[in-house]
Amino acid sequence: MTPPQAQDAESRPARERVYAHVREQILRGVYAGGSFVEEEAISSVMGVSRTPVREAFHRLEAERFIDLLPRRGALVRQVTAQELADLYETRRMIEGYAVARICRERIVLPETMEAVLDRLDAIAGSDHFARVELNREFHFGMVQALGNEVLSELYQSLGARQQRVAMRALAVDPGRIERIRVEHRDFIAALRAFDEARARAVLDEHLRPVTGVVSRLPGYDPPGASDEGA
């Protein structure tokens, strides 16, 4: 008998299945940054025509997972060191603003945020894909609680970079899983107590760039490197 999850996946439109497959393979690093994803190969693997593959590719391009190059195909985007720094800065701005409003206006957090943490705690093993998906859902829940649709859409646009960086960070340092778990619990406790100072402190630590990840990205400039040979 086919599992319910598989039945749900099979019932989705072809373009949705292709999108989910390619996106997951990019996040897992199967399709590495700088490599090309062939339309014909995906069509064959997924057992669909090229039309839903093209539709999925256009969505992936809009979400900045790939670049579509004329006569060359779909190029998986690289996440650069500068892009990572910009990502963390932008997240601190958006999520810091969310923290301030929640604490000052005493906005009640959605119960789904706690439920997401429970689901995160239940994940075992070294497959980080589900962790990264839930981590993003947790943070988006906080931003969404403000009721600002424009801000929510802006935060959602960070998804490709955010998730790819998170996957790489966990691969480099699996020990982060426990630290992140503790930070998430401390963070939500501070928000529920409307303790802005504590919530900001946890968030700043949580969104601190990981040197082991940054150093492996294109364009990384080690501290002091620009002074060498001067």
pLDDT confidence of residue 229: 38
Tokens for 58, please give them.
């256009």
Q: Note the pLDDT of residue 226.
A: 45
Here the tokens at position 104 are 């000052």
- Residue that the structure tokens 């256009």 belong to: 58
Tell me the per-residue pLDDT of 38-90, one tens digit each, with 9 for 90 and over. Answer: 999 999 999 999 999 999 999 999 988 999 998 888 999 888 888 888 888 99
pLDDT digits (tens, 9 = 90+) for 191-206: 999 999 999 999 999 9
Q: Which helix or strand (DSSP H or E) is residue 68 part of?
A: strand 66-69
Angle at 22 between CA 65 and CA 47, to 5 degrees: 150
Q: Which residue has the tokens 């004329």?
A: 70
pLDDT of residue 8: 54
* 67-79 pLDDT per residue, tens: 999 888 899 988 8
Provide CB contacts within 8 A for 196, sequence distance 6+.
99, 100, 103, 104
**Pure H helices in 1-78:** 4-11, 14-27, 39-46, 50-62
What is the reported pLDDT for 71?
82
Return the number of other C-beta atoms located less than 10 Å from residue 161's C-beta: 22
CA distance 224 to 230: 11
Domains (range + CATH), the chain? 13-76 (1.10.10.10), 81-214 (1.20.120.530)
Q: Which residues of the chain have pLDDT under 70?
A: 1-10, 212, 223-230
Q: What is the pLDDT of residue 2?
A: 43
Q: What are the DSSP calls for 87-122, one per residue?
A: HHHHHHHHHHHHHHHHHHHTPPPPHHHHHHHHHHHH
Amino acid identity, residue 45? V
The answer, as to whether pTM is greater than 0.75, is yes
